[in-house]
Structure 1
Amino acid sequence: MAEQAQRAEWPSPAPGGKQEYLQMLGLSAIHKCAGETQQVTPHPQEVKIKKQQQEVLDYLQANKIEFERCDIAVNDESKMFMRENVPENYRPVSGIPLPPQIFNNDHYCGNFEAFFDARENNAVYAFLGLTAPPGSKEAEALTKQEA
């Protein structure tokens, strides 16, 4: 059987469709069609989402901030929670928020852009609704503000 790699654009998936899950997570997919294997190359938006997700995870791990990673591709309950709990004013034009979306329990903290801004301003703990640990840049900045 001949194998041929081919770049293909994602079709617009129906809401909740498998391709939408793949798009949200930035995963590649391999399809077999008419005896040929076709590699579906990730769309640039998928790559961007995956990089953003990894950047958030790396930061949380590096700073030993406990978190639970929810994979909306395999957990419909998590996907519905995300979609229902992102405030309207933070939703994209399409109305469907894309990951990463960050929550502290049921409290919506923000999307990647808000996380990035908080990180740049040494305010991630405040963004997450947590107390900054003593000795952290954020705790030191808060101490200076209070003085």
Structure 2
Amino acid sequence: MDSNPRLTWYLRQRNRILKKRDIASSEDNKKKMRDLIGDQKAIAPQLFNDDQYCGNYDAFELANEDGELEAFLKL
């Protein structure tokens, strides 16, 4: 089951690929996420466009409400 259906729908509508990284079973993925964010205590979910940090899921929802998703996702 998709835990973020709105995000998945939005990206599919724009022919974008969503890649999920499991940070629970991979310390390397967790370290990379935290290094890219610059916060060694950051928790998932976090959103990136390649290696560009966009924000967390709450920020995604806020950008959606404000009509700012293109800018938020750096598309």
Is the structural similarity TM-score above 0.5?
Answer: yes
Question: How far off is 1:129 after superposition?
Answer: 0.5
**SS where residue 34 of structure 2 aligns?**
helix
Question: How far off is 1:69 after superposition?
Answer: 0.5
Q: Distance in 2 between matches of 1:67 and 1:83?
A: 19
> For residue 101 of structure 1, what is the aligned residue in structure 2?
46
Letter in 1 for 2:22: D
CA RMSD of aligned residues (A): 1.8
Structure 2: runs of 5 or more not aligned: none
Mark the structure with the bigger radius of gyration. 1
> Which portions of structure 1, spanning 4 or more consecutive aligned residues, are displaced by more than 6 angstroms?
none
Identity %: 34
Structure 1: runs of 5 or more not aligned: 1-52, 131-147
Question: How far off is 1:122 after superposition?
Answer: 1.6
**SS where residue 70 of structure 2 aligns?**
helix
1:114 aligns with 2:59: yes
**SS where residue 96 of structure 1 aligns?**
coil
1:84 aligns with 2:35: yes
Q: Deviations 1:11-62 (Å, cap 9, x if unpaired)?
A: xxxxxxxxxxxxxxxxxxxxxxxxxxxxxxxxxxxxxxxxxx82xx311322
> For residue 68 of structure 2, what is the aligned residue in structure 1?
123
> For residue 20 of structure 2, what is the aligned residue in structure 1?
69
Number of residue equivalences? 70
